[in-house]
Amino acid sequence: MSIEIDEAYLKRQLEALLRIASPTGYTDEIVHYCSGELERLGLKPELTRRGAIRAVRQGSRRHGARAMVTHLDTLGAQVKSVKDNGRLEVVPIGHWSARFAEGARVTVFSSAGSFRGTILPIKASGHTFNDEVDTLPVGWRYVELRIDAVTTSRQETLALGIDVGDVIAIDPAPEFLENGFINSRHLDDKAGVAIALAAIEALERTAATTPVDTYWLFTIAEEVGVGASSILTGDIASMLTIDNGTSAPGQNSAEFGVTIAMADQSGPFDYHLTKKLVDLCQSEGIPYQKDVFRYYRSDSASAIEAGHDVRTALATFGIDASHGYERIHMLALVSVARLVAAFAVSRVEIKRDAREISGVEGFTHQPTEEADNPLPPEFGSAGSRNT
């Protein structure tokens, strides 16, 4: 029987998460929030020195555990220099285009407290620059941050307490529509965190049992490539990453159902774990599609590159305009949450994975048999078309 996801709870968590600024390097407050919610759900979060979260939901066996991983950090920016006009030169945190920074309302976190401001093109006034506002190139060198404070010089801005290196959070500006669409920045990966919390809530509400321990991991530096590199334990045999899938021209992702990633720029995901996700979607009636991402990496990549010997897979919610003005749909979030819960309670099929090293007995096979592919009758037995 399928585990029902509380859609209202998922939506409330996403709304709450979006209200907390958490660009990479400035994630303490969202770590506190997420830890508190995990405790409320009955789990005991453990934090690394820098704040990545690990919470274990106990199953029938410890070894060969499963992990579900999402990331709390988002894109952002940082002060590169204080300019002579008192405005700020900025550089991105994470990989995103200055095209999507233009016009953004932001918060600057300084040693003296936070300041509000706007990222603008350096030629922002048509009344002053005329057609030059349209011919200005796109790039971080061509934008600046206007602070909502009285300052017209470098000295006045420094006197406010703002300095090089201060972290800048970009306003998400969320909008939840009645038809299920959600528009906001930072849906990558706050929607994934909301999915994980909703899956945990469903498992706890139904008192679901799992064959092995389930580790719920929340990382804090995925957007800069670190991700799950240091939070896994030797007990974890398989890891499911929950993140966005890019629904753009040339991609097979969609804003509805689950998009199962077959590969990203780090290579193919684990054959057997990915096939299991497909089988679960089919048996649970969860709509899905597959995709390959050429310019994409996730917590799975950082874990493998750090030397963790785990099977990895990636289940995504389709997101339009990723790392820009993002849009998703509630149906995708619920679909991914259903898959995560179904995976958590599903039986373990590769029992030797409980041991980090073992012999060849019980090792998996991948199919190599020739497919049943008979010629159509009109071709005849010799392979030439009958006329």
Question: Across-strand partners of 81?
Answer: 89
Question: If residue 77 lies in a helix (H) or strand (E), which one and from where to where?
Answer: strand 76-82
Cite the DSSP H helix spans in the chain: 7-18, 28-40, 126-129, 132-135, 154-160, 187-205, 271-284, 299-305, 330-345
* Per-residue tokens: 124: 């922002």
Nearest 5°: phi and psi at 330?
-60, -35
Output the DSSP codes for 149-197: SS--SHHHHHHHT--TT-EEEEP---EE-TTSEEE-TTHHHHHHHHHHH
End-to-end, the C-alpha distance of the chain in Å comes to 54
Query: Active-site residue 222, yes or no?
Result: yes
Of the candidates 37, 144, 201, 222, the residue annotated as catalytic is 222
Nearest to 327 by CA among 177, 174, 184: 184
Q: Structure tokens of 125?
A: 């006034």
Q: Which residues are catalytic?
A: 222
